[in-house]
Amino acid sequence: MRLRAKNARAASTGERTLDSRPVTEASQTQGETTLAERLVGGDKRALARAITLIESDDPLGWDLVREVYPRTGRARIIGFTGPPGVGKSTLIGALTKELRAADRQIAVLSIDPSSPFTRGALLGDRIRLSEHFLDPGVFIRSMASRGALGGLSEAALQVALVMDAAGKDDVLIETVGVGQAEIDIVDHADTIVLALMPGSGDSIQALKAGVMEIPDVIVVNKADHPMTDTMIREVRGVLALADDPGGWKVPILRTEAARGEGVAALAEQIDLHREFIESEGTLESRRARNLRSEVLGIATSRMRRRLEETIAGDARVQDLLEQVVRREIDPASAASQLLEHGDHED
Ligand code: GDP
């Protein structure tokens, strides 16, 4: 995975080179430029390398994020959620085409928490982005492993940061699997697009029940389906319940991603949402909320890891857990004792 110095130099001649900070161990000097410099210079392979470091929990990955973090915050982070099969990948492919026509640099991060074994298949079959593989303005990556710090969600966010630092204008995050992890990741986006298709009743129920947060843009894809109007009516009904006067009016768009229909309108709504949250100051508060929860998320998984290390092989803890199993101590009291025990250990 060594990057050739010639290309690295070429990449570093762009305007986005790092200033003369001390070269840390993390900077991983190879030839004349560091990985961080190449990343910030927009070198595609440096970005790929950075993501691999993050995914494999390599400390160099975390050092790299630390180094480039001040350079982040410029990209639009757009999350796509929705049940499998509704056409998210197709939609992202079509949207990428639209955004490329406006000369925007795009990164796509596809996340599949449910299957760590489909990485190849993900790129080959599921992401309908093959026409973009050769475009230097498009960077596509899928991620299935948990990565560092105990959470796919945290690792994915670090990846979004390096994509941002690499000068991407738009980072499109797609979740392939279903479940809580997908919601967590998408919640960290600046703009959340929910893709549905005629007949995806479960999502309507989830929205109604408040299980799923109201997204910023709703797309009813496969609008060639005869039940499209019914679906749109149902969505409208749910949104009416959650109406926020003076707030952002969630648009419901019809698309036929496979033919690119309605995709220009989607790009436009993403722009409008961005303008709205920028002018209302909600972009800042949303990001502050997301970063706060990211810090807490990382801290929580570290604390858990530390606790597990502290109690591993401890006979008293084992005894305590057995008492819970025998119903002699309830779980909450045992947890209190565990924490007291941990405190004393320190
Ligand atoms: P994802 O699982 O949500 O990412 O869905 P995919 O993008 O993989 O699409 C699932 C299937 O729906 C694929 O076979 C697509 O070709 C098809 N598809 C996508 N958009 C449309 C559309 O607008 N109309 C129809 N009829 N099929 C579509």
Q: Which atom of ligand 1 is nearest to the CA of 256?
A: 23
Residue nearest to atom 27 of ligand 1 (CA): 222
Give the residue among 255, 247, 224 at the shortest CA–CA distance from 82.
255
**Residue 299 covered by a domain:** no
**Assigned domain for 298 exists:** no
**What confidence tens digit (pLDDT) does each residue in 150-171 have?**
567 778 888 999 999 999 999 9
Predicted pLDDT at 128: 57
For the Cβ of 42 lying below 6 angstroms from any atom of ligand 1, the answer is: no
Predicted pLDDT of residue 113:
62
> Is the CB of residue 94 below 6 angstroms from any atom belonging to ligand 1?
no
* Contact 95 CB / ligand 1 (< 6 Å): no
| Cβ of residue 128 lying under 6 Å from some atom of ligand 1 | yes
- Same domain (yes/no): 169, 62: no
User: Is there an atom of ligand 1 within 6 Å of 177 CB?
Assistant: no
- Domain edge (last residue) among 70, 85, 116: 70
Mutate to test the pocket of ligand 1, among 80, 88, 90 (most ligand atoms within 8 A of CB): 90
The pLDDT of residue 178: 57
Atom nearest to 84 CA in ligand 1: 2
Q: How far is the CA of 166 from the centre of ligand 1 (A)?
A: 30
Instruction: Report the phi/psi class of residue 13: left, alpha or beta, with left for phi > 0 and alpha for psi in -120 to 50.
Output: alpha
Same domain as 64, residue 81: no
CATH number at residue 79: 3.40.50.300
Distance, CA 85 to ligand 1 centroid (Å)?
A: 6
For residue 25, what are the domain limits?
5-70
Q: Are residues 54 and 99 in the same domain?
A: no
DSSP 2: P
Whether residue 159 is found in the same domain as residue 216: yes
Q: Is residue 304, in this structure, part of any structural domain at all?
A: no
Would residue 300 count as lying in a domain?
no
Residue appearing with tokens 């843009």: 217
Number of domains in the chain: 3
Q: In 3D, which of 89, 132, 92, 137 has the Cα closest to residue 112?
A: 89
Contact 200, 86 (CB under 8 A): yes
- Establish whether residue 184 lines the binding site of ligand 1, counting it when its CB lies within 6 angstroms of any ligand atom: no
Among residues 70, 86, 117, the one where a domain terminates is: 70
CA of 341 to the centre of ligand 1 (A): 54
322, part of any domain: yes
Residue at which a domain ends, from 70, 94, 114:
70
Q: Are residues 24 and 78 in the same domain?
A: no
Print pLDDT tens along the chain (346 aa). Answer: 333 333 333 333 333 334 444 445 455 555 568 999 999 999 999 999 999 998 888 899 989 999 999 999 999 999 998 888 899 989 999 999 999 999 999 999 988 765 554 444 444 444 556 677 778 899 998 887 554 445 677 788 889 999 999 999 999 998 765 555 555 666 678 999 999 999 877 778 878 777 777 889 999 999 999 999 999 999 999 888 877 888 899 999 999 999 999 999 999 999 999 999 999 888 999 899 888 888 887 888 788 888 888 888 899 999 999 999 999 999 999 999 988 866 655 4
pLDDT score at 98: 96
pLDDT for the residue 134 = 78
Q: From the CB of 221, is ligand 1 less than 6 Å away? A: yes
Q: Which residue has the tokens 């920028």?
A: 278
Residue of minimum CA distance from atom 25 in ligand 1: 222
Residue 8 has what pLDDT?
39
Residue 107 belongs to some domain of the structure: yes
38 within ligand 1 shell (Cβ under 6 A):
no
Neighbours of 331 (CB within 10 A): 9
221 alpha carbon – ligand 1 mean position (Å):
8
| Residue 136 and residue 276 in one domain | yes
Q: What is the pLDDT of residue 217?
A: 96
**Same domain, yes or no: 172 and 255:** yes
- Report yes or no on 64 lying in a domain: yes
pLDDT at 19: 46
Q: Same domain, yes or no, for 207 and 331?
A: no
pLDDT of residue 176: 67
